[in-house]
Chain A
């Protein structure tokens, strides 16, 4: 079976240190005014009416039915067999259409290069047998990366365990039909 790369965030472990954002930025020379991954702060009330705050990581979801791939006129944005949605910089004309097409605000425009940019799951690092920079750096071990088609991979095990422990497992805005591949695990 093909590999299918995915990531799970064990959200409750995130301490909002933003080391992932910095690691990613340093690894890929991301333009000054942008990040490929973010940590948002979410506020909500629990059952007892108490407000709680969560730190919510996000990045490109490498959607199976990705709007950015649908709308890209040049096919520079494409879905690879290993599940990664990738932007071929030699082909991208920089029309920016993919940027407002992404419901997860995962893309931005790289003005220096004139192309659309986003998370690649650190494809070049994967080729060297390394993990994505964010996952390696995260001190809380929030980010678990791996091949979800391999039942022995860390991500498969973490998800299985979360399911057995009846933790909440969800993905963002599945109602939009984008079939995202980032799993959020929360208590």
Chain B
């Protein structure tokens, strides 16, 4: 089996940061429509990271470019092919970055937006599209069977929302030093972590029954070269430990102080990065000489 080598950690960082930025904005916009007063500390925290993280993500994509980096005028061509997922992504990310910038400026008191509800809806739609796009980018490539599955966008959207909450929570608790009660968001975060675990199990089970290339990829993660990072950084640190801690906190069996919440949210972020990193690195090409024994 031949590993793809074109996409490396730069792209993983890009997908991760775009996901965190988009996820935080989507949750902030939803919370805004429910009860702006109550969630204002979270909304402000998300406003701090939404646009900057997406922009930073785009920056990582940019420095991964070959000659596009030293010939920036070529970047205008990124929009020209309507069949390319990169062209869709460039469009979606441009719109989302502008909208999240406007929304952040509104929340931080620099400008006043007329129809905030319209803005929130637009953010929710473009934010979900941004998070989904980060998976569709990989998913449209049928040459890499492990990526070419519908469950990937679902997993990435769940993970983006969860890591988005984590990012905003960290800012809320450390920079804004707010201890406002936003329990429904914490509860939603717990559910998202559980959903992500279920989606990941689904992907594992499906890949284990998939074409040989898919089986090879998933075995790389479960028992192969990437097994340590998969089990420790993604599964344990990124999902199981936070889910158990938040679950016990939710049930009133564990008290979490600010430091431990921040640490747990940071673990979720680590898991979110490794999810992208591992999936990208586990991608192997479909085999071209199918009738021959592969050793």
Interface residues of A (CB under 8 A from B): 40, 42-45, 54, 56, 58, 67, 70-76, 91-97, 99-105, 109-111, 113-116, 172-173, 176
Q: Which residue of B lies closest to A114 (CB)?
A: B66
Can you show 16 pairs from A to B with CB atoms below 8 A apart?
Answer: A44-B293, A67-B142, A71-B83, A71-B84, A72-B84, A73-B81, A75-B77, A92-B74, A93-B71, A96-B66, A99-B6, A101-B141, A109-B66, A115-B66, A116-B66, A176-B143
Chain A positions within 8 Å of B290 at CB level: 173
Interface residues of B in 243-278 (CB under 8 A from A): none
Quick check: is B240 within 8 A (CB to CB) of the other chain? no
Besides the contacts A74-B77, A74-B80, what 15 more A-B pairs have beta carbons closer than 8 Å? A42-B289, A42-B291, A43-B292, A67-B143, A73-B77, A74-B74, A75-B81, A76-B77, A91-B74, A95-B61, A100-B141, A100-B143, A103-B285, A105-B2, A114-B69
Q: Are A92 and B7 in contact (CB under 8 A)?
A: no
Quick check: is B286 within 8 A (CB to CB) of the other chain? yes
CA distance A73 to B85 in the complex (A): 7
Q: Which residue of A lies closest to B142 (CB)?
A: A176
Chain A positions within 8 Å of B140 at CB level: 71
Quick check: is B67 within 8 A (CB to CB) of the other chain? yes
Q: Are B2 and A73 in contact (CB under 8 A)?
A: no
CA distance A73 to B61 in the complex (A): 14
CA distance A59 to B44 in the complex (A): 54
Q: Are B7 and A96 in contact (CB under 8 A)?
A: yes
Quick check: is B64 within 8 A (CB to CB) of the other chain? yes
Once A96-B7, A96-B64, A176-B286 are accepted as A-B contacts, the answer to whether A43 and B293 lie under 8 Å apart by CB is yes
Q: Which residue of B lies closest to A104 (CB)?
A: B288
Q: Which residue of B lies closest to A54 (CB)?
A: B292
The smallest beta-carbon distance between B141 and chain A, in angstroms, is: 5
Quick check: is B90 within 8 A (CB to CB) of the other chain? yes
Interface range, B side: 35 or more
Q: Are A114 and B68 in contact (CB under 8 A)?
A: yes
Once A43-B293, A96-B7, A103-B288 are accepted as A-B contacts, the answer to whether A73 and B80 lie under 8 Å apart by CB is yes
Query: Residue A74 contacts which of B4, B78, B83, B85 (CB distance < 8 angstroms)?
Result: B78
CA distance A135 to B292 in the complex (A): 25
Q: Are A100 and B67 in contact (CB under 8 A)?
A: no
Quick check: is B283 within 8 A (CB to CB) of the other chain? yes
Chain A positions within 8 Å of B78 at CB level: 73-74, 93, 95
Chain B positions within 8 Å of A115 at CB level: 66-67
Per-residue 0/1 for B99-135: is the Cβ within 8 Å of any A Cβ (1 yes, 0 no)?
0000000000000000000000000000000000000
Query: Residue A75 contacts which of B68, B80, B85 (CB distance < 8 angstroms)?
Result: B80
Q: Which residue of A lies closest to B138 (CB)?
A: A100
Q: Are A93 and B292 in contact (CB under 8 A)?
A: no
Chain A positions within 8 Å of B228 at CB level: none
The smallest beta-carbon distance between B195 and chain A, in angstroms, is: 28
Chain B positions within 8 Å of A97 at CB level: 6, 84-86, 137
Q: Are B65 and A93 in contact (CB under 8 A)?
A: yes
The smallest beta-carbon distance between B92 and chain A, in angstroms, is: 13
Quick check: is B70 within 8 A (CB to CB) of the other chain? yes
Q: Are A173 and B288 in contact (CB under 8 A)?
A: yes
Once A73-B87, A176-B142 are accepted as A-B contacts, the answer to whether A92 and B288 lie under 8 Å apart by CB is no
The smallest beta-carbon distance between A167 and chain B, in angstroms, is: 16
Q: Which residue of B lies closest to A96 (CB)?
A: B6
Quick check: is B183 within 8 A (CB to CB) of the other chain? no
CA distance A116 to B86 in the complex (A): 15
The smallest beta-carbon distance between A110 and chain B, in angstroms, is: 8
Quick check: is B98 within 8 A (CB to CB) of the other chain? no
The smallest beta-carbon distance between A63 and chain B, in angstroms, is: 11
Q: Which residue of B lies closest to A172 (CB)?
A: B288
Chain A positions within 8 Å of B288 at CB level: 58, 103-105, 172-173
Query: Residue B142 contacts which of A54, A103, A105, A114 (CB distance < 8 angstroms)?
Result: A103
CA distance A74 to B80 in the complex (A): 6
Query: Residue B6 contacts which of A74, A76, A109 (CB distance < 8 angstroms)?
Result: A109
Quick check: is B59 within 8 A (CB to CB) of the other chain? no
Q: Are A103 and B286 in contact (CB under 8 A)?
A: yes
